Amino acid sequence: GAKAAWCPACGVASLAPGAQRDALLALAKQSILAKLRLPGRPGVPQPPSRAALRSALRRMRAQRSDTPGMLRDGPGLQEYEVLSFAEAGSSTSRSVHLHFRFSQEVAGSTEIQQATLYLFWASPGRGAQPVTVRLLRQDPNMTVASETRLEVQRPGWTTLDIGAAVRSLFGETPRLTVELEVPEDWGSPLPPDHSDSHWPFVVAQARARTRHRVQRR
């Protein structure tokens, strides 16, 4: 036709419109996956329940207003905020294991700036009740990486800063196992089921690792 079918800037034959669109869509997918360091799009997710998600976002907002400036902007480095809900593991009458799984892509290419564990106590006994929170290594003996004793005075949310422990554990694997131990007469420290709005979760802030520059003379 009148308009030459060639690319004005590079002088080669331009793609037919349909082929051009397909090429651009493929480029968009490749570009986003590369920047998210994903080998391919993730499988169909199992989203958390709306109640748990809404409750977690509300807690995160409350926590952020309590501790402003938690994460200062890094020098143009890509930052991540990850919200991970617990998977219930083995349990006894007074303790339970919670498993959190973080993706290798984020854990492998970022530095954890901050990590907070959110726990909800529905009906603690009277007075201050001792609760022990342990972060366990992923080795066969599940050795203890860190242990914190809490005094739970009343029903409600408790937050625990686990940033240092997560940084040390992520060096081995992007998995986190938390053991909760409560007084005998409490019963299970977990809400009745996963869709409950008081399900435990972890929020981690991470920043892409700075590219190491090696100066050679």
The site for other proteins (CB under 8 A) is made up of: 3, 7-9, 24-25, 27-29, 31-32, 35-36, 38, 41-48, 53, 76, 78-85, 101-103, 105-106
Q: How far apart are CA 76 and CA 92, in angstroms?
A: 47
For residue 47, give both structure tokens: 């989203």
Closest to other proteins by CB, 42 or 89: 42
As measured in angstroms, the least distance from the Cβ of 97 to other proteins is 17
Q: Indicate the residue among 28 and 164 with the shorter CB distance to other proteins.
A: 28
- Minimum distance from CB of 11 to other proteins (Å)? 10
Q: Shortest gap between Cβ of 22 and other proteins (angstroms)?
A: 11
Report the Cα 98 to chain-centroid distance in Å. Answer: 14
Name 51's Cβ contacts closer than 8 Å, sequence gap at least 6. Answer: 195, 196, 197
Give the closest residue to 205 by CA, choosing from 67, 83, 109, 101. Answer: 83
Q: Would you call 39 helix, strand, or coil by DSSP?
A: coil
Could you tell me the smallest distance in angstroms from the CB atom of residue 125 to other proteins?
A: 33
The CA distance from 114 to 117, in Å, is: 10
Nearest-CA neighbor of 70 among 209, 62, 150? Answer: 62
* Comparison of 83 and 122: residue with beta carbon closer to other proteins: 83
Identify which of 120, 121, 132, 138 has the alpha carbon closest to the alpha carbon of residue 177.
138
Q: Minimum distance from CB of 33 to other proteins (Å)?
A: 10
In the DSSP assignment, the letter for residue 184 is G
Residue (84 or 186) nearer to other proteins, CB: 84
Nearer to other proteins, 119 or 176 (CB): 176
